[in-house]
Amino acid sequence: MTDVGALIPYIAAALAIGGVAVALSRRRQYVLRWCAWAVAVPVVVAALYAGPGGAATLAAAVGVVCAAEYGQLTRLPRPDRMLLAAAVVALSVTAWLAPAQLPRVFAIAALAVALVPLLTGDAAGGLNRLCRGVFGVVWFAPLIGVVLLGPTALALFVAVSVADIAASFGGRLLGGPALSPLSPAKRWSGVLAGTTAGLGMLVLLGAFTPALVVAVAFGAPLGDLLESMVKRGAGVKDSASWLAGAGGLLDRLDSLLLALALALLLS
């Protein structure tokens, strides 16, 4: 895979084309999403251009925010949230400095999060806390892919972002059967449109590999459904409300998390 710098012109072109498309749509929701993407892309590019250290910093920062949103979403007590955030940071730093130790650090992180309700003697809700905490570690662990995959992670990020926007456009425009009871507003037509656009972006970026094809085609839509399941269980629409037009950071990265997991497993 080529380096980060070589991808910048293609990403800038995709951003510009996306801006024209959302402007023509005249939908405030899409415009706000594009604005968030326009801010996020340069940050991701700069972090990855800085090398593994920058990628680890980005992964850790994103993980802390996602852990905070997830903790609030699932009503995890403060000690559980703090330990979950620390686990994500530890995994990101380990991916940078000692990747061979990742399995050990992951096991320690999951065990530490699981022990919190046990050691605090939570008889009423301890099992739920344990399951939610360990699930959080598993869900956010793929952020290490930002460090381990390098420029490939950037291509995946762009492809998944394009797929998300195209899926929303396509589903609204084409209609058809609903994708799942977990997310009734999403349509199979949107998934097909998003997958086509995402795979096209991989071709454009020179990253059309079997691992990334599977990640975009299956990881992205399933990741979106996974967060929808979590939010439905919590009885909320968005993971947070601080990101204009997009809810929270977790709402924007749900597709990417599972896509990163598949890319790591298959690479």
First and final C-alpha spacing in the chain: 12
**What integer pLDDT is reported at residue 69 of this predicted model?**
94
**What percentage of the chain has pLDDT greater than the value 70?**
97
Cα–Cα distance measured from residue 171 to residue 174, given in angstroms and rounded to the nearest whole number? 5
Considering only CA atoms, which of 256, 243, 2 is closest in space to residue 144? 256
User: What average pLDDT does this structure show over 39-52?
Assistant: 87
**What integer pLDDT is reported at residue 123 of this predicted model?**
87
User: What average pLDDT does this structure show over 114-131?
Assistant: 91
User: What average pLDDT does this structure show over 150-169?
Assistant: 88
DSSP state of 100: G
**What integer pLDDT is reported at residue 165 of this predicted model?**
83
Number of Cβ within 10 Å of residue 128's Cβ equals 14
**What integer pLDDT is reported at residue 242 of this predicted model?**
73
**What integer pLDDT is reported at residue 105 of this predicted model?**
97
Is the model's pLDDT at 2 over the cut of 60?
A: no
pLDDT in tens, 201-223: 999 888 999 999 999 999 999 99
Cα-based distances in Å from 136 to 69, 76, 189, 199, 221: 11, 10, 31, 29, 19
User: 210: buried, middle or exposed (CB in 10 Å: 19+, 13-18, 0-12)?
Assistant: exposed
**What integer pLDDT is reported at residue 221 of this predicted model?**
93
187 φ, ψ to 5°?
Answer: -120, 155
How is the chain split into domains, by residue range?
1-51+150-267, 57-148
Give the residue with greater pLDDT, 246 vs 135: 135
Rounded mean pLDDT of the chain? 89
Q: Would you place residue 91 in the very low, low, confident or very high pLDDT band (cuts 50, 70, 90)?
A: very high
**What integer pLDDT is reported at residue 267 of this predicted model?**
83
pTM attached to this predicted model: 0.90
Are the CB atoms for 200 and 235 separated by under 8 Å?
no
| Helix%, strand%, coil% for the chain, nearest 5 | 80, 5, 15
